[in-house]
Amino acid sequence: MKYLKFITSLLAIGCFLHPAIFGQAKVGTTGAQFLDISPSVQAIGMGEAAAATTVHSAFYNNPASLGLIGIKRVAKLSFFPVKAKFPAGTGLQNYEFSAPVYSSSTGNILQSVSFGIYHTRLVSAEMIERDYDRLPTGRTYQYNSSVTNLSCSYAYLSTVQFSVGITMKSIDESANEYSSSGSAMDIGLLFRYPIFKNYTDIGSSYNLYMIPAIGFSLRNYGPDMEFNTNKYPLPKSRALGLAYEFGLRNFVDTRRELDAFRILLALEFDYKHGGTEQHNIGTEISLYELFNIRLGQINFNENSNKQNTLGFSLSTDRIGKFLLLTNGGVTNSRFLEFITEKLSLEYNYAIKSNNYFDDITYHELVLSYHL
């Protein structure tokens, strides 16, 4: 009963994220709209429904997820720029690093502090400059925008898992001789309640687990930006995320656990500046984590448009663990031990449909080091 009260309290808190409670902002133009573009390839594959998940780079959707990712004691570096095909020859690049910096355990209580930094840059092709009457000026320009994000998150794990996170942003935009800079902040909360059932079969150990989760985040809150003497508000948003993860975990020892199967279901309700709403739904399905496939859909309520998404990932870490588990955890290959317990490489891919232009594809390479 106490856990039912706990979940009910969280849902009550989530109601305060609704626009009817906060009040709706005036509909109009916003500055730094590129802040609405997610750099998380895994989240994009799931329809950007990641506010209550711990997938890689989910701290864009909710900075609190960084704390629970750090509990795994893995430092991650996304060193290959995300490749995305946008209109007008615009290209997106994203570099990211995250790692736990502190952890302690007392009994069944585990606490952790994690740090992350990611830099996203959006660059357009050369475009014809036009005046306010839409007439060509005879000049061309290139639009550049970038944001550097510093994230910090604290996680507390016991019967219930809780984390809180904050992201500070430094924003820059430029076009020809015009430029603008600003700052913003994200704040997030994430609650998870893992349920495990242990059993042993033919010398192997298994965990059947279910993890309901709920997350809240406030994104892009900061002062207006000024561009060419005009002031524009940032694209603020408030998000409520729900997720349910379940699977069967098989392990030889604590460093070689592997999900025999896993299914993640996620929803995100995003209330944006100007009163518009966006509802996202996504899923991730994994079999022995050899091949993770993701499906999702982004729904824009103001014009009933929908974007379908698809993604997958491959990892040397998961392949190595699978080979070890099928051999009872015994191997004579030092290389296999190394990629399983220390260093691994992961490739992520996602594609998003577009109603007006070509589909957008994303690619990412992530290097992970197990601390």
The whole-number pLDDT of residue 99 equals 87
The whole-number pLDDT of residue 285 equals 94
- Look at residue 228 and tell me if it is in a domain: yes
Among candidate residues 313, 358, 283, the one with its CA nearest the CA of residue 84: 358
CATH number at residue 11: 2.40.160.40
- The domain total for the chain is 1
Helix (H, G, I), strand (E, B) or coil at 124: coil
- Look at residue 15 and tell me if it is in a domain: yes
- Please work out, in degrees rounded to the nearest 5, the angle formed at the alpha carbon of residue 171 by the alpha carbons of 169 and 174: 170
Question: Distance between CA atoms of 71 and 89, rounded to whole angstroms?
Answer: 40
- Look at residue 91 and tell me if it is in a domain: yes
User: Do 45 and 61 contact (CB within 8 A), yes or no?
Assistant: no
Question: Distance between CA atoms of 341 and 58, rounded to whole angstroms?
Answer: 23
Among candidate residues 10, 55, 58, 11, the one with its CA nearest the CA of residue 160: 10
- Look at residue 258 and tell me if it is in a domain: yes
Question: Distance between CA atoms of 341 and 76, rounded to whole angstroms?
Answer: 14
The whole-number pLDDT of residue 14 equals 41
CA-based torsion, 93, 316, 52, 85: positive or negative: positive
- Look at residue 30 and tell me if it is in a domain: no
Question: Distance between CA atoms of 360 and 87, rounded to whole angstroms?
Answer: 9
- Look at residue 29 and tell me if it is in a domain: no
The whole-number pLDDT of residue 57 equals 77
The whole-number pLDDT of residue 297 equals 95
Concatenate the DSSP letters of all residues of 54-87 into one string. Answer: --TTGGGT-TTHHHHHHTT-EEEEE-SPPP-B-G
The whole-number pLDDT of residue 326 equals 61
- Look at residue 328 and tell me if it is in a domain: yes
Virtual CA dihedral for 298, 299, 305, 309, nearest 10 degrees? 20
Instruction: State the residue for tokens 């025999």.
Output: 260
Question: Distance between CA atoms of 122 and 28, rounded to whole angstroms?
Answer: 22
- Look at residue 59 and tell me if it is in a domain: yes
User: Do 294 and 50 contact (CB within 8 A), yes or no?
Assistant: no
For residue 289, give both structure tokens.
């984590």
Instruction: State the residue for tokens 């550097």.
Output: 148
**Domain membership of residue 340 as a residue range:** 2-22+52-128+141-370
The whole-number pLDDT of residue 24 equals 40
User: Do 167 and 63 contact (CB within 8 A), yes or no?
Assistant: yes
Among candidate residues 24, 18, 15, the one with its CA nearest the CA of residue 275: 24
Mean pLDDT, contiguous 10-residue spans, the chain (371 residues): 39 39 45 81 92 84 85 75 63 84 84 89 75 74 81 86 93 80 92 78 67 94 82 90 88 59 93 85 86 91 81 78 60 63 83 79 84 75
